[in-house]
């Protein structure tokens, strides 16, 4: 049996729920990383972790540059972390608008979902990798796991504003996990829908058989020069409905002109009776 790609979703109610469920977290992601951009609290949390001995300090990078020993800023504390998640948040909102519109129009096929959600899942997986990357630039303060604001409570921070920053960063990480989970569920449902059922295989085989029979019917139909009896009868009937040429009714005769008709009326309808050389006379 030939391979085919299913065009219908299985468990449509769950897919519809995921489409609706994705929207508030997409908006929350845009809001959280939009507020954090470009560097509202990232360096502050880096400094707090350094003061408590959880990771390196921002001053360590300055000292390294001053001693001509440039070091690479850990990705978790870099500006790329915030900007990356802000960009993929915008992309997610854009694709959500397209996806929801296509879903309402019933043209969002599983094969489209496979391509889209695989790409989005990879983007969010890399984003979470950045958020949980370690900080090992300071030999005295090695942190190979997630940053302190994820693994520890924000109550260890005394300042209320800094504590709020910690909670905001923790919320951003939580939203990122939810987004990754949503796209993983989409991908699972997509793969599940792309696996054809026995009924779908049978329907596809029946449809292919009908198309094959239709092609064979057209291939075996008579050509233009070989019409069936019914087609010949139809053709003759159409010819009989055509208007006849004036003067040809009742046989092949010369067309009747007004002048000829006038002469016939003068001679009593008998036509011309003159014979012989020119100058002959008409007879009644």
Residues 6+ positions from 231 with CB-CB distance below 8 Å: 222
Return the DSSP state at 244. P
Rounded-to-integer distance, Cα 148 and Cα 152, Å: 6
Rounded-to-integer distance, Cα 77 and Cα 139, Å: 17
Look at the pTM and tell me if it is higher than 0.85. no
- In tens digits, the chain (284 residues) has pLDDT values of 456 788 889 899 999 999 999 999 999 999 999 999 999 999 999 999 999 999 999 999 888 888 888 888 999 999 999 999 999 999 999 999 999 999 999 999 999 999 999 999 999 999 999 999 999 998 888 898 899 999 999 999 999 999 999 999 999 999 999 999 999 999 999 999 998 877 666 665 667 666 666 666 666 655 545 556 666 667 676 666 656 555 554 444 555 555 555 556 666 554 444 444 444 444 44
Bond prior to 93 in cis (omega within 30° of 0): no
Rounded-to-integer distance, Cα 231 and Cα 210, Å: 25
Q: Return the pLDDT at 69.
A: 83
Contact 136, 144 (CB under 8 A): yes
Closest alpha carbon to 85 in 149, 34, 21, 148: 34
Q: Return the pLDDT at 131.
A: 95
């Amino acid at each position: 049996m030939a391979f085919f790609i299913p065009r219908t979703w299985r468990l449509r109610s769950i897919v519809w729920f995921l489409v609706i469920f994705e929207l508030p977290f997409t908006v929350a992601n845009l809001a959280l990383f939009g507020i954090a951009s470009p560097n509202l609290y990232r360096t502050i949390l880096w400094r707090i972790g350094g003061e408590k001995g959880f990771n390196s300090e921002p001053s360590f990078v300055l000292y390294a540059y001053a001693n001509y020993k440039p070091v690479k800023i850990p990705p978790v504390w870099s500006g790329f972390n915030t900007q990356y998640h802000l960009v993929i948040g915008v992309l997610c909102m854009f694709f959500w608008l397209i996806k929801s519109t296509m879903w309402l129009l019933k043209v969002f096929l599983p094969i489209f979902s496979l391509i889209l959600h695989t790409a989005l899942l990879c983007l969010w997986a890399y984003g979470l990798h950045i958020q949980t990357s370690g900080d090992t630039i300071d030999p005295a303060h090695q942190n190979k796991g997630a940053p302190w604001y994820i693994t520890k409570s924000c109550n260890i921070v005394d300042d209320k504003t800094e504590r709020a920053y910690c909670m905001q960063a923790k919320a951003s990480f939580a939203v990122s996990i939810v987004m990754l989970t949503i796209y993983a569920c989409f991908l699972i449902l997509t793969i599940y829908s792309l696996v054809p059922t026995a009924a779908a295989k049978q329907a596809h085989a029946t449809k292919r058989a009908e198309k094959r029979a239709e092609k064979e019917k057209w291939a075996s139909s008579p050509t233009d020069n070989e019409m069936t009896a019914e087609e010949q009868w139809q053709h003759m009937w159409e010819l009989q409905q055509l208007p006849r040429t004036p003067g040809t009714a009742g046989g092949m005769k010369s067309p009747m002109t007004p002048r000829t008709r006038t002469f016939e009326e003068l001679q009593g309808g008998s036509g011309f009776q003159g014979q012989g050389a020119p100058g002959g006379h008409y007879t009644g």
